[in-house]
């Protein structure tokens, strides 16, 4: 079973919607027995809380219900999850720092990367990978933009996993 962890700063906006859109894509391809996912925060701002009400409202508009309670990324996650997927470069720096402290490693892990690497709307894969923008200080349109981005990424990432791991 492949285990995927989506990570953002507070685990209340981007990573919970990434988790749920990915879970929906997995279910649509009937791969629930092969792939599980969760999400976490790099910071402990909202531990135990539901996702931001604007994220939950946006999710409901797309027939998704978010019940995830915020949790913080910890060193054990690197041995439990096969992939740790960050939403922006700041998250990736924190993921690497937590990994370094827990595993004693100093090089980037190949199973940790930015989610927009799999965004089909990005024309050139040779440029710097864009980030999933943080909608926290924005408007409802910003939450919709994040939903659209992570939905595209879910399909691209799932295609990658199916090919790389020979899933059917």
The residues annotated as belonging to the active site are 8, 14, 134
Q: 100 is written with which tokens? A: 């370094």
Question: 37: burial class by Cβ within 10 Å (0-12, 13-18, 19+)?
Answer: buried
Kindly tell me the number of DSSP H helices and DSSP E strands found in the chain.
5, 4
Q: Quote the strand ranges of the chain, DSSP E.
A: 2-8, 35-41, 83-86, 112-114
């Amino acid at each position: 079973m492949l285990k995927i962890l989506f990570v953002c700063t507070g685990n209340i906006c981007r990573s919970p919607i990434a988790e749920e859109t990915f879970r929906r894509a997995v279910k649509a391809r009937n791969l629930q027995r092969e792939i599980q996912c969760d999400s976490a925060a790099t910071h402990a701002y909202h531990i135990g809380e539901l996702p931001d009400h604007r994220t939950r409202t946006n999710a409901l508009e797309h027939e998704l219900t978010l019940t995830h309670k915020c949790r913080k990324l910890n060193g054990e996650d690197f041995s439990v999850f096969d992939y740790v997927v960050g939403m922006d470069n700041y998250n990736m720096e924190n993921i690497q720092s937590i990994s370094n402290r827990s595993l004693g490693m100093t090089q980037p892990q190949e199973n940790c990367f930015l989610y927009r690497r799999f965004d089909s709307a990005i024309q050139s894969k040779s440029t710097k990978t864009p980030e999933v923008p943080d909608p926290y200080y924005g408007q409802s349109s910003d939450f919709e933009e994040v939903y659209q981005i992570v939905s595209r990424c879910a399909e691209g990432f799932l295609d990658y996993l199916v090919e790389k791991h020979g899933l059917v």
